């Protein structure tokens, strides 16, 4: 078993060790200088991710539930608080890259300090309520594992030499997937998390929705298909764009998805494995909601709602290109999909939906500071579904709701057409 995976049927202590080891493994290829830099306000230094995920366990598990625990450094309570107003003061998010001290070695010592106390606490045995809090911390850390990869990718893309995070692998030639529309009856349906297992509060409560009959594309939109949109002047035709999206095109100078560059008479894309020619058969990624919506309009289709996506994805296989495989870029479909099932619904790229990120009927935030986790962000954002090549496999499920503002492009975000 490598550091990117966790043992099946793991005990709480084993799962804790596996998740924490994966975070450290993601930071291992980086220098101390790499780990200290913040390339834009929406990204954070890797050193900050390493510290904040430890702060979460220290603040929400150890401080209230381990009487003998002593903080590693009281100053960290402010330095590594992200957005929890109930906890107290916070260092400004856009200035995380100015935290040259403490150094990376001290942050690693902080992680070891927290890990020792957490493993002692888990060995004592915890009741269901406190185990649920530990699981929330692990799921939170898995979200930051994905953020480490997306933030490092943005950081390295800003370097004039465009260095690789890790060496490129070998990828066999792939054919563009055979594309089809899959029909779904709609009707009165239930969405939201159901049954055992972890979920975030924004996946609850399970509730009924009415869906008209609809169709979804069998595959995510590919890079080759997106090239045709570009060649048809997709970025120069305001009639294809929402007004706010067209404003972004003009203000940001968008001409192609994020990390794309025209060189030697073809498109290339910067990846965590270095710069590569655009692979026509691979799912397109690093497109904003605005770009996804414009492409769908150009294609004579639309984006699915999150309820449509969840209903269609229930029967889709959960296997896919996830963080665990170490191929940190969307890959072409390798297997012929089962007839009637969505292909690549999980992994590779997050898929934009047309749904605003808002509360489900009957949603209530949790009490205390952890209640700030999701509910406070239910404004001016859109829902994405399915996970990406940077998402841990054990972290995703059909009811999972990711969310970003419509102009965001640094995540592994793509799209699937609906009608």
DSSP line for 249-291: HHHHT--SSTTEEEETTEEEEEETTEEEE--TTSBP-S--HHH
The Cα–Cα gap between 328 and 322 comes to 8
Residue 29 inside a domain? The answer is: yes
**Interval 268-317: pLDDT, tens:** 999 999 999 999 999 999 999 999 999 999 999 999 999 999 999 999 98
Contact 273, 168 (CB under 8 A): yes
- CA proximity to 306, closest of 352, 374, 242: 352
- Cα of 111 vs its chain's centroid, Å: 23
Q: Which residue in the block uniquely carries the two structure tokens 């902080």?
A: 110
**Interval 245-265: pLDDT, tens:** 999 999 999 999 999 999 999
* Over residues 52-77, mean pLDDT: 97
- CA proximity to 252, closest of 222, 283, 220, 286: 286
Question: Average pLDDT, whole number, for the chain?
Answer: 94
One domain for residues 244 and 390:
yes
One domain for residues 138 and 219:
no
One domain for residues 90 and 197:
no
pTM flag (> 0.85): yes
Residue 331 inside a domain? The answer is: yes
Q: Which residue in the block uniquely carries the two structure tokens 């489900």?
A: 360
End-to-end CA distance of the chain: 43
One domain for residues 133 and 47:
yes
The DSSP output letter for 380 is S
- CA proximity to 133, closest of 410, 407, 403, 370: 370
pLDDT at 369 over 70: no
One domain for residues 75 and 129:
yes
The Cα–Cα gap between 412 and 408 comes to 10
Residue 351 inside a domain? The answer is: yes
* Over residues 361-377, mean pLDDT: 82
- Cα of 295 vs its chain's centroid, Å: 22
pLDDT at 338: 83
**Interval 187-224: pLDDT, tens:** 999 999 998 899 999 999 999 999 999 999 999 999 99
| Residue 358: band (very low, low, confident or very high) from pLDDT cuts 50, 70, 90 | very high
pLDDT at 195: 86
One domain for residues 227 and 94:
no
Rounded to the nearest 10 degrees, the angle between the axes of helix 12-27 and helix 128-157 is 10
One domain for residues 216 and 145:
no
Residue 63 inside a domain? The answer is: yes
CATH, residue 269 = 3.90.1580.10
One domain for residues 229 and 319:
yes
The Cα–Cα gap between 308 and 311 comes to 5
Residue 168 inside a domain? The answer is: no
- Residue 163 CB coordination number (10 Å): 11
pLDDT at 29: 97
One domain for residues 326 and 220:
yes
- How large a percentage of the chain has pLDDT more than 90? 87
pLDDT at 173: 63
Contact 324, 296 (CB under 8 A): no
Contact 304, 371 (CB under 8 A): no
Residue 87 inside a domain? The answer is: yes
Contact 286, 390 (CB under 8 A): no
- How large a percentage of the chain has pLDDT more than 70? 97
| Residue 172: band (very low, low, confident or very high) from pLDDT cuts 50, 70, 90 | low
One domain for residues 192 and 126:
no
| Residue 236: band (very low, low, confident or very high) from pLDDT cuts 50, 70, 90 | very high
Residue 249 inside a domain? The answer is: yes
Q: Please say which residue of 123, 157, 191 terminates a domain.
A: 157
* Six-digit token string for 25: 């493994």
One domain for residues 146 and 196:
no
Number of domains in the chain: 2
| Domain extent at residue 31 | 12-157
One domain for residues 142 and 210:
no
Contact 385, 401 (CB under 8 A): yes
Residue 165 inside a domain? The answer is: no
């Amino acid at each position: 078993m490598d550091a990117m995976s966790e043992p099946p049927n793991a005990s709480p202590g084993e799962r804790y060790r596996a998740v924490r080891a994966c975070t450290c493994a993601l930071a291992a290829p980086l220098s101390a200088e790499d780990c200290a830099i913040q390339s834009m306000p929406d990204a954070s230094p890797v050193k900050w991710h390493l510290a904040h995920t430890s702060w979460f366990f220290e603040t929400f598990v150890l401080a209230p539930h381990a009487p003998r625990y002593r903080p590693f450094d009281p100053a960290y309570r402010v330095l590594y608080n992200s957005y929890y107003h109930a906890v107290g003061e916070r260092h400004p998010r856009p200035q995380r890259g100015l935290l040259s001290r403490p150094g990376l070695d001290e942050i690693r010592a902080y992680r070891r300090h927290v890990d020792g106390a957490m493993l002692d606490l888990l060995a004592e045995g915890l009741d269901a309520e406190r185990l649920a809090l530990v699981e929330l911390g692990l799921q939170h850390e898995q979200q930051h594992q994905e953020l480490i990869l997306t933030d490092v990718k943005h950081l390295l893309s800003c370097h004039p030499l465009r260095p690789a995070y890790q060496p490129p692998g070998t990828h066999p030639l792939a054919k563009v997937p055979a594309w089809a529309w899959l029909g779904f009856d709609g009707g009165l349906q239930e969405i939201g998390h159901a049954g055992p297992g972890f979920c975030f509060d924004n996946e609850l409560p399970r509730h009924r929705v009415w869906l008209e009959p609809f169709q979804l594309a069998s595959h995510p939109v590919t890079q080759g298909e997106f090239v045709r949109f570009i060649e048809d002047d997709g970025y120069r035709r305001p009639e294809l764009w929402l007004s706010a999206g067209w404003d972004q095109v003009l203000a940001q100078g968008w001409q192609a998805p994020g990390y794309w560059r025209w060189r030697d008479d073809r498109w290339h894309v910067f990846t965590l494995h270095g710069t590569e020619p655009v692979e026509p058969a691979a799912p397109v990624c690093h497109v904003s909601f605005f770009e996804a919506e414009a492409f769908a309009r150009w294609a004579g289709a639309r984006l699915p709602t999150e309820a449509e996506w969840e209903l269609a994805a229930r029967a889709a296989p959960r296997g896919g290109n996830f963080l665990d495989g170490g191929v940190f870029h969307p890959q072409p479909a390798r297997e012929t999909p089962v007839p009637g099932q969505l292909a690549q619904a999980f992994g590779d790229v997050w898929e934009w939906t047309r749904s605003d990120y808002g509360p489900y009927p009957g949603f209530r935030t949790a009490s205390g500071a952890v209640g700030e986790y999701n509910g406070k962000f239910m404004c001016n954002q859109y829902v994405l579904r399915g996970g990406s090549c940077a998402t841990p496999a054990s972290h995703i499920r059909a009811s999972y709701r990711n969310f970003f503002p419509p102009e965001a492009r640094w995540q592994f975000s793509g799209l699937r057409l609906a009608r």
